[in-house]
Amino acid sequence: MSEGTDHQFWYNMRTGAVEQGMQSPSADRVGPFTTREEAVHALEKLRANSAKWAAEEAENDR
């Protein structure tokens, strides 16, 4: 692990596990997150961002 990433957290989309450092292939993980708690809530954040972007796109299409 590199010095900058070994203290960060990722959410593994395939397993649903939170990992410290880059343990899984990049295609399986999202992040980085500063804390384990942030990574635990990764799916909620992704859903919220997706909804926000969809609403912004819909507004721009008007």
Q: Residue 2's pLDDT is what?
A: 53
Q: How far is CA 59 from CA 22, 27, 52, 53, in A?
A: 37, 31, 11, 10
**Neighbour-count burial of 50, counting CB atoms closer than 10 A to its CB (0-12 exposed, 13-18 middle, 19+ buried):** exposed
CB of 28 within 8 A of CB of 16? no
The model carries a pTM of 0.77
Q: Residue 1's pLDDT is what?
A: 47
| pLDDT digits (tens), the chain, 62 positions | 455 778 999 999 999 999 999 999 999 999 999 999 999 999 999 999 999 999 999 999 88
